[in-house]
Structure 1
């Protein structure tokens, strides 16, 4: 099976499995999504979702978050790790959103990536899921599965993003990146599948299937 054929198979099967994939981070608007994605760096979505209710009760918008001290924010977000760096980033990005963007989350990659704690992946999630702009955020699950499925050489996250954008239709990017994440978590985990066990790996690479031991 060629790389193009593998991509088409992945696209079709994942759309069957996850026809309407929800955003795994709980949020109410573009700002709360941005905050949740910043907190998700090196942290599970589950832990972020347990943390953000208290955070958003204190500071549900950029104006109120900018008015909080780093210590106040750190006391809440510390379970998400990388403290107090994340707390400083949340206060700093909130201040810039208020000062430069009138309290509204900016709608361009360049403006988002200029905010503290916001890299390309975070900006891509916000652009895709808050504003509907085609993007292909690549997290560890996507990077790992793209390598496992031989859709990229996997030299870098940036290269993986470029390769996936070339392989899949632009209209599918926003849903597909979520579908791959869900599949990676539920079926093709880092330790639970070695490229021969999950349904998609078996379909994509039948030659990898281990022969049945008939001696038992």
Structure 2
């Protein structure tokens, strides 16, 4: 039976963590962990009323830290108590309450995304790398430095890229300071399509008929 609200408030008081936290931070996660792994752990630990689960990223790579957001503070504290000795992927994770759940910025729209990319504002840092569409975004790197997004769109025409929610611009060239190669954020229509793109291009030479073995392509899905 789910705990009553007065009981949950009692848990919050016993934990002596204040009354404003709406989120919990998890550290020590395997870098291969996905949000679905954390949600599965929440189910096993009888943690309810989860609003959102995100992974912290640096340059689009998981850092081993995640966040769980709740609808009310008392749910966060009850979860903190249930998360003692929680294990994900064979690693024991540490949980603590945080005052404000980190959120992914709202989509800027086509023009805003392009301007942000030119300013270097899309860094890949923060929850889900700071972009929406968790599991549907792919980062491709190691490509020729002078490759344009429009050219890559044409090359990826056999893939189902994101629809009208992102406007016509579904591929954004990312800043790559000091590198002779380029990086791109590709927005696909689904998680399965994102993984299909990775399987097709990861660790493959880019246009060997033109470039020989000069450019090795790397690709990974951003959660």
* Class of the TM-score when normalised by the shorter of the 2 chains: 0.3 to 0.5
Is the radius of gyration larger for structure 1 or structure 2?
2
Which is richer in strand? 2
What TM-score, normalized to structure 2? 0.34
- Higher normalized helix content (fraction of residues): 1
The TM-score, its normalising length taken from structure 1, stands at 0.35
